[in-house]
Structure 1
Amino acid sequence: MNRIVIDNGTLVNEGRRFNGYIVIEGDRIARIGAGRYPGAQAEIGAGTEVGTAARAEAGTAAGIPTRVIDASGKLVLPGVIDDQVHFREPGMTYKADIRSESAAAVCGGVTSYMEMPNTNPPAVTLERLEEKFARAAEVSPANYSFYLGATNDNIGVIRRLAPRRVCGVKVFMGSSTGNLLVDKDAALAALFAESPVLIATHCEDEGTIRANIQRFREEYGDRATAALHPSIRSAEACYRSSAKAVELADRYGADLHILHLSTAHELSLFDDRPLAEKKITNEVCVHHLWFTDADYAAKGNLIKWNPAVKSAADRAALRAGILSGKVDVVATDHAPHTLEEKLQPYWSAPSGGPLVQHSLIAMLEMSREGTFPVEKVVEKMCHAPAIRFAVHRRGFLREGYFADIVIVDPDKPWTVSRDNVRSKCGWSPFEGTEFSHSVTHTIVNGGVAYENGELSGTLHGRALEFER
């Protein structure tokens, strides 16, 4: 059994921060304490200088080999749980794959992910879903689960989903990458009435978008640029579809999670009750918290997402929602495309981009700027996904929980460049951005998956379990 001590770090967990240590035994957190770990000095040898290299040496405790990681001056956080990623496998592995993107995830402090069904072929049957689980078991250094995709005619498959194994069912109420639009009222009614698992929705009103596309194609033709994207995939389109999803959930008592809110108006559909009391919740993505429509001039299609990045006022409302409790979860919608695809003219360029490597540090950067405290970052990226999806013993620093832990140096600046992007697509919308924080260690199920710029090569990821 492995034994790791994380000593003298600033633990951030459940609304508080304190100087302390964590003892990991096997795959679990065995002990959490305040102050310095009592045995750390002896375990690295009497008289040895207590430095980063020295504390990484192995010692022994009660006959168990012990490694001590010096976390002095660093933040120690629960591993991030990302409830929305697109890893493109099967069928689009020239863009990304489960191996490459889960590796990028652990480099960024993401220890668990929930992956979307709009692959090729799409995961709309139990057999295709199991193929994804099997592939992740072979190659993923992070923990994983997968959504089944809803269609207009697969309610029979949805009824058979295992609530303890499958994170949810994804329904596209507006078309996006993958052509999984569910647009029949009867199919939506059956889904909301009968799904045994959480329903996660992509909400953009299809009729509104199609009308906007026709209008702007006629007006701009080939002169169209990404600056038009928030007018085409408009705030009205988002609100109409989100309101419809909320109405369906209210009518049928469904467990609804609306993904990637992008507008102030949509927030009016939600309240600030404690998350555990809600059946209708939302997620906001890092790019909608970071960028605004003013960034299209410089970034162009690199920040073309569905839903679109919108106004500074919308961004301000979403940021305020994190503080007020109206925003429930923060995630990425990590969705890589090749740079060649993204550099096509606006009408041809696909929506989406890589984010999973930079989500935590981007949120910590916003925290440093005073947007919200570090405790809120941990709440929305670690605790809240665990609560909302009823993830078994993850998302918190608690004794007896799985040891999914991230160590972050808050004073180790670096600049994003194509040389240090881990995603297979090889580019990032954050290129040129200097971040003040660096992830130094990512621990998954008690094993060090990433350390100081290097992946361990050992696969520690497991299928997530849900307490349903």
Structure 2
Amino acid sequence: MTQSYDLVVTNARVVTPDGVTSGGLAVSGERISAILADGEQPAAKETIDAGGRYLLPGGIDPHVHFRTPGLTHKEDWAHGSRAAAAGGVTTVIDMPNTQPPLIEPELAAEKASTVSGDSLVDFRFHMGVTVDSVENLRRLQPRQATSVKVFMTGHHTAPNIIRDPVVLDRIFQVAAERGIRLVLHAEDDSVFSLLDETQAPPTGYDAYESAHPRTGGIVASSRVIELVRKHGTAAHILHVSSSEESDLLKAAAKAGLPVTYEVTAHHLSFSAPDTQRLGARIRLRPAIRCEKDKGRLWDAVMEGSVASLGSDHAPHTVEEKLLAVADAPPGLPGVQELIIALYTGMRRRYPGMSTDEAMRHVARLTAEGPADLFGLGGRKGRIAVGLDADFTLFDPDVTWIMAAKHTYAKVGWSAYEGWTFTGRPDVTVRRGETIWDGRDPEQPRFGTASGIWLDAEPAVPGGFTAQRETSA
């Protein structure tokens, strides 16, 4: 008897860990059942003709702030997950700095219950830690979280800062004992406090970057490396912004330390003069650096030093962004723009690169890397038989101008408004269900909000680094 599938995709360029081939895939239930050869078209309840588009693994954004609970005037899961789906992202990992913060392991199930029924995409959480909650990490189970966010400095929505070196040392020790991966906002608060004693706060965005200099990130990254060396803790540094930090972290990984790092799309897209021009739209922590830093981050991305790309999707309302320079909160919406901005940047910076090669980089940075880091590789992150049928059909050639009307984040604006993008996810499928269909730009369609709270494997210190070196 000829097998019939639930969903078949044909006429695609399929991006797998082994390369890019023409063909398609077949889905039974929620899993990938077969990778199809070019021209193969078995019977199915539903067939999608990809029309030559690239079939990428569904994006995993490991760095979003969907603001639930307590800050849902800025963002919520209904809007945030729509933005994710429209951007080709099928899984997100949410940050803990909400109101109240997610610092009690038992609250993870309560948060998952709140989110369920509102999310188009599957999800996990990073746990938080405060000066008074370090011992909570000993109760943390992989079902609740396999990673813990540490703020070494703070801002408007991140008040729980770890300043005391004794407390920071204890966090690294407990995390190592429990097999927890630390994810860190690695800027040293004492550096900024010292500078604030001798300089007035900036009154304009021309001085914003110099008021929040790279020194904070370099000092903090150095401290993290020494603590990793001492305790063997797996540490992943978020939104690295400078060439010095990138080079330092690359050296630490080369020395065999379980240190990895993330770069954001906005640190690859913008440079310091853009902050003067766009002001609060790209007011960020860490700040946007100079063109030299952006170039070095691109080098690190392309050579494989960067473990993952994250959006740091952190929306604020227009009214909040219009406050005075000292009061406007840092952060921007970015989950929808993540894959698009990465691909557009590659096309512009490396015009001789083939589309196949560019798509392999996209898959590595936005799917494979995050899946390996955060214990999701057993079901997410790759186009392979037996894994979840999470994928996006990406048109690599379409050129379009980003406008506010295209955005799905609750705040309704994008830092990329007016940008000419190349490439766009036209269809996004999560566990076999189409959750975004934008092939008709005038009538885009979303699926059902049936995203689930995922299980994950515990963090393995050095696992990602060792895996990459073995395969190199």
Aligned equivalents of 1:246 and 1:274: distance in 2?
A: 10
Query: What letter corresponds to residue 361 of structure 2 in structure 1?
Result: K
Which of 289, 298, 301 matches 1:319?
A: 298
- CA gap of 1:194–1:422, structure 2 versus 1, over 3 A, is same
Secondary structure of 1:350's partner?
coil
Aligned equivalents of 1:319 and 1:449: distance in 2?
A: 31
Query: What letter corresponds to residue 134 of structure 2 in structure 1?
Result: I
Which of 105, 110, 113 matches 1:126?
A: 105
Secondary structure of 1:210's partner?
helix
- CA gap of 1:107–1:375, structure 2 versus 1, over 3 A, is same
Offset, 1:215? 3.7
- CA gap of 1:311–1:94, structure 2 versus 1, over 3 A, is same
Aligned equivalents of 2:334 and 2:104: distance in 1?
A: 28
Given the alignment of the two structures, is residue 5 of structure 1 paired with residue 8 of structure 2, yes or no? Answer: yes
Task: Trace 1:327-342 onto structure 2 (pairs within 5 A).
Answer: 327-342=306-321
Aligned equivalents of 2:189 and 2:252: distance in 1?
A: 31
Cα shift readout 1:344-368 (whole Å, capped 9, x = no counterpart):
2211100001000111111111122
Secondary structure of 1:157's partner?
helix
Which of 278, 298, 305 matches 1:299?
A: 278
- CA gap of 1:165–1:8, structure 2 versus 1, over 3 A, is farther
Which of 448, 455, 470 matches 1:458?
A: 448
Given the alignment of the two structures, is residue 179 of structure 1 paired with residue 159 of structure 2, yes or no? Answer: yes
Offset, 1:272? 7.6
Which of 291, 308, 314 matches 2:287?
A: 308
Offset, 1:412? 2.5
Secondary structure of 2:115's partner?
helix
Query: What letter corresponds to residue 404 of structure 2 in structure 1?
Result: R
Which of 164, 185, 188 matches 2:168?
A: 188
Which of 413, 419, 424 matches 1:438?
A: 424
CA contact (8 A) 1:367 1:374 kept: no
Offset, 1:2? 7.0
Aligned equivalents of 2:251 and 2:419: distance in 1?
A: 33
Match of 1:51 in 2: none
Query: Is there any run of 5+ residues in structure 2 with no aligned partner, and where?
Result: 459-472
Secondary structure of 1:217's partner?
coil
Cα shift readout 1:262-313 (whole Å, capped 9, x = no counterpart):
01001122238999x8621101111001100011232111001110010101
Match of 1:448 in 2: 434
CA contact (8 A) 2:404 2:417 kept: yes
Match of 1:208 in 2: 191
Query: What letter corresponds to residue 452 of structure 2 in structure 1?
Result: R
Task: Trace 1:392-403 onto structure 2 (pairs within 5 A).
Answer: 392-403=378-389
Match of 1:101 in 2: 80
Q: Mean alpha-carbon deviation: is it higher for 80-89 or for 409-418?
A: 409-418
Secondary structure of 1:411's partner?
strand
Aligned equivalents of 1:148 and 1:160: distance in 2?
A: 12
Match of 2:375 in 1: 390
Counting aligned pairs with the same residue, the percent is 32
CA contact (8 A) 2:402 2:420 kept: yes
Which of 389, 411, 415 matches 1:429?
A: 415
Q: TM-score normalised to the size of structure 2?
A: 0.89
Match of 1:236 in 2: 215
Q: TM-score normalised to the size of structure 1?
A: 0.90
Given the alignment of the two structures, is residue 26 of structure 1 paired with residue 11 of structure 2, yes or no? Answer: no
Cα shift readout 1:381-406 (whole Å, capped 9, x = no counterpart):
11001111121310000000001101
Aligned equivalents of 1:13 and 1:235: distance in 2?
A: 37
Secondary structure of 2:159's partner?
coil
Given the alignment of the two structures, is residue 410 of structure 1 paired with residue 410 of structure 2, yes or no? Answer: no
Cα shift readout 1:100-134 (whole Å, capped 9, x = no counterpart):
10111111111111100111111111243322211
Cα shift readout 1:407-446 (whole Å, capped 9, x = no counterpart):
1112222221111210000110000112121211110011
Query: What letter corresponds to residue 79 of structure 2 in structure 1?
Result: S
Secondary structure of 2:200's partner?
helix
Cα shift readout 1:17-49 (whole Å, capped 9, x = no counterpart):
11111101110000002312233xxxxxxxxxx
Query: What letter corresponds to residue 456 of structure 2 in structure 1?
Result: F
